[in-house]
A = this chain, B = another copy of it.
Amino acid sequence: MDDLQAYTIVSRYHHGQRVGERDYCYRVVSGAVRQYAIQPDGRRQIIDLLLPGDSFGFEAPDGERFAAEAIVEGTMLASYPWRRLLADPNPEVAQRIRDGASDVICRLQRQLLVVGRVKAPEKVGAFLLELAERLLLQPGEEVRLPVSRYDIADYLAISVETVSRSITDLQHRGAIRLGGARQVTIINPDILDMSAAHH
């Protein structure tokens, strides 16, 4: 841990600023980051959404890597040079790498489950629950969305309009309440994640 701090460089990023030297991996200190790819048809697909505490950049230190950029103005990222991490004999450093990679895997797997859901309101509901959980919010506490509707759409692989309609739908069903477009209060989590139930 102290070893790591010797390598750590914390930097500040602007909204939309590109991040992702191939030779570094990162940890989000504050703010949010999106990792995305542009599909052959021109659509943007968000691969991963990084929140405070999340790490990324563990894939293929030598291969291709997807583009990443800060979403929130003033996002703070800690960066670690791969070369040094690999050279460090300290077993704690190795463990940090494993833990970071494991986190990434779990996040991607859970995201795959969300995207794999059938109906749009389920996807949005699962997204909101996941977000609340990852932000370590108390049940009933208001969720401040760090992302736009467009980001949510590209993250869930549905259109912006459908995201909007899903949110309205969940609201009408009494699952959530809105206090501004980016402030959501989860009222009934049960409705949210198994909103598969009949029309």
Contact = CB atoms under 8 A, between A and B. Distances in A.
B66 A105 contact: no
Interface string A123-141: 0000000000000000000
A113 interface: yes
Interface stretch (A6-14, A26-34, A35-43): A35-43
A115 B112 contact: yes
Given A58-B102, A97-B98, A115-B157, A40 B108 contact: no
A43 B48 CA distance: 24
A16 interface: no
B118 A59 contact: no
A180 interface: no
A194 B63 contact: no
Interface string A183-194: 000000000011
Interface of A: 37, 39-41, 43, 45, 47-48, 58-61, 63, 66, 86, 89, 91, 94-95, 97-98, 101-102, 104-106, 108-109, 111-113, 115-118, 122, 157, 193-194, 196
18 contacts: A39-B116, A41-B118, A43-B118, A45-B112, A45-B116, A47-B112, A58-B102, A59-B109, A60-B105, A60-B106, A61-B102, A63-B106, A66-B109, A86-B95, A101-B105, A105-B108, A111-B112, A118-B157
Given A47-B109, A59-B102, A118-B157, 18 more contacts: A37-B113, A40-B196, A41-B122, A43-B118, A58-B98, A58-B105, A59-B105, A60-B105, A60-B106, A61-B102, A89-B91, A94-B94, A97-B98, A101-B101, A101-B105, A112-B112, A112-B115, A115-B115
